[in-house]
Amino acid sequence: MTTTTPAPEATLDDATLVGRSRDGDVRAYEQLVLRYQGAMFRLAAKMLADRAEAEDVTQEVFLKAWRVIGRLQDDAAFVGWLYRMTTNRCLNVLRARRVPAEVDPDTTASPRHTRPEHATEMSSQMAALTEALQQLTPEQRACWLLREVHGRSYDEIAEIVGANSTAVRGRIARARAQLAEVMQPWR
């Protein structure tokens, strides 16, 4: 029986990998991409409700991060920096849209239950939530997703979206109230 050992880069902390990436170590940067591309894609997919745009945004963010990683002052701030770049890029895409994108079923969670009626109800509920998220302002959607889906603190969100934490709390409160109202039939 043979065991495969992970690449040495896989066990390093983010700050070390960022430092090595700054020095041109492509393998170290690949590890950072592997660690965070899923989270950045999920954020973009929920903000944009368009899988193709989310893939493009995620790719653009990681390419830009590689090009400008030398400008990052604090190696430990890499994750927050990625969230900020992803959120800002999504907000730019949303501002550039003329017509809101339709909901992409590939970006919603798939039900895992075997009962067809439960699966149908869950699918309908996820579609309603995705539609409700699209009714929020882009700033509210970003704040709500960063808090509720990605578990970021109010201070982190404030830094990511370029607002103070009081504004972030207000945006999240308004988003929660609006979502609660829209989702009332599902309670």
Q: Does this model's pTM top 0.85?
A: no
Q: What is the pLDDT confidence band of residue 118, given thresholds at 50, 70 and 90?
A: low
Q: For the residues 20-25, what does the mean pLDDT come to?
A: 91
DSSP 24: T
Q: Is pLDDT of 111 > 50? A: no
What does the longest C-alpha to C-alpha distance in the chain come to?
58
**Rounded Cα–Cα distance for residues 50 and 35 (Å):** 22
Name the packing angle between helices 26-48 and 51-68 (round to 10°). 140
Burial of 88 (0-12, 13-18, 19+ CB in 10 A): middle
Residue bearing the bigger pLDDT, 133 or 114: 133
pLDDT (0 to 100) of residue 54: 93
Share of the chain above pLDDT 70, in %: 79
Q: For the residues 58-85, what does the mean pLDDT come to?
A: 91
Burial of 171 (0-12, 13-18, 19+ CB in 10 A): buried
Q: pLDDT digit string (tens) for 36-69? A: 999 999 999 999 989 999 999 999 999 999 999 9
**Rounded Cα–Cα distance for residues 28 and 21 (Å):** 6
